[in-house]
A and B are shown apart, each in its own frame.
Chain A
């Protein structure tokens, strides 16, 4: 199974393109990281893939079939979205939040199967002791786990995550990324995530897509894309890139 994004362009106003002919593909079980400076359209690209915003031109194909004709509910069965943060005005409990992932399948009432899928996922994600707690009373890492659990309950073929490790401590960053790559491998789900930390990207992403000035700047295997030249051109900083434990390690230089 493969998701192919072909020449996607999008702009919030007519004259300026936030994304300009962006193309890439992701296979099942693969983790793709999207890198780039702030404001290059990483989150916008994720929203286009999820059909949250309508792209101006280009198309997205899943298994050779265009996704542009699908309605919101059909899309939700194929692609799930995990936002950067959640700020609920009317917060729900963890169990109710996770059950929301079954909405694309059950719009008027949860079946026994829906509940079983949700309860099993809560157990897998080790969220049992929080199950009846208000999601807004949880820490950032726990909340992120709940949102990933909800995405899994959607039983999608692709999960997109918007900066899943932002505002998390080192332990939680590692925990969430391990979890995500485990989900990709064991459930054969494609993962597309935006990420800022180059070292974490090197460790957990199979492929990387670098965006700069609305265009694809570099795209390929993580260990190939991460190099001093690319980083210098993209972020305008000097770095020292070395190999540590089989992964590229980026060290920021002062000058």
Chain B
């Protein structure tokens, strides 16, 4: 009886994940052809044509190119960013046992913005003025921030409060340094910096998709493998977790570094997309509970759906003006999140 009930509960949670995956696939195909006068599954045809190298042949050549070279990378980057930021948010909340923590609490986003703005404003060589230069600077800067956070936290023990406080302090420091750069920047460069900090998928390419996919997939899989340990970390204090055989300092360090790696990679390509890393984990927890074996994948799925819908919404709502996804996600996510808090927090 108990065994059957437990298996039923596990199957229910697996079903949520499966339905979430189906929704992502459905949205991906639908959004790739939205507003175009082509068959619904043209994206499959276009992708196939692109892979075998005859994208210039066939009936819908122009549409195929738009789908494969513009829309598909954008959609895939939205999915990867959603998964990455949500998984990073989930692990950060679990290892710090803090509702208010997101992937950006450790100062990673401010550091990335600082790196990108340094590159945009002061970069003189060809490399620093290129897209890859900005991405590299943002990535290195945010990794440096993570290294400083853990370096300082290590001095007094990697406790949840230490990580959060040091992270918040660095967040303010990097924000102040970015503001200083912006204050002295020329107008056209200031515009580029502000555009970058909005966060969007406008510059998505297949190369960006591939790199971010490799990082997010590997790091998320490693995090998921540690689900049982994360269950203990999230719902027990450090002393209890240690008595159950968990090396809390080590898990907090590795978990935090993986979250930083995911976040740095994603925002280097997309700019700062806040909020999703905070609310998707909460929404997942409201729906599916705290068992990380199900909670981590479901959180990633919700993040992907949220960014996918927000990005498409941002493109369509004031067409032809393209509103950055970083803005839209808050407008769409907040009402949904508040609704969940009001109706489901009793079971949380």
Contact = CB atoms under 8 A, between A and B. Distances in A.
A107 interface: yes
A76 B234 contact: no
A103 interface: yes
B246 A93 contact: no
Nearest to B97: A89
Contact of B245 (A47, A86, A103, A134): A103
A72 B242 contact: yes
Given A91-B290, A115-B3, 9 more contacts: A76-B245, A81-B240, A81-B243, A90-B93, A90-B235, A97-B235, A101-B244, A106-B228, A107-B229
| Secondary structure dominating the interface of B | helix
Interface residues of B, number: 36
A95 B242 contact: no
A79 B243 CA distance: 8
B228 A108 contact: yes
A128 B2 contact: yes
Given A93-B289, A103-B232, A115 B6 contact: yes
Q: Which of B1, B6, B285 has the most CB of A within 10 A?
A: B6
A72 B293 CA distance: 23
Interface in B255-270: none
A165 to B, nearest CB: 19
B331 interface: no
Contacts of A110: 228
B94 A103 contact: no
B2 A91 contact: no
A42 to B, nearest CB: 15
A73 to B, nearest CB: 4
23 contacts: A47-B239, A50-B242, A52-B242, A80-B243, A81-B240, A83-B239, A89-B97, A89-B99, A90-B290, A91-B348, A92-B235, A92-B291, A95-B2, A96-B235, A103-B245, A108-B226, A108-B228, A109-B228, A119-B6, A122-B2, A123-B2, A131-B5, A132-B9
Contact of B243 (A50, A87, A119): A50
A75 B5 CA distance: 32
A139 interface: no
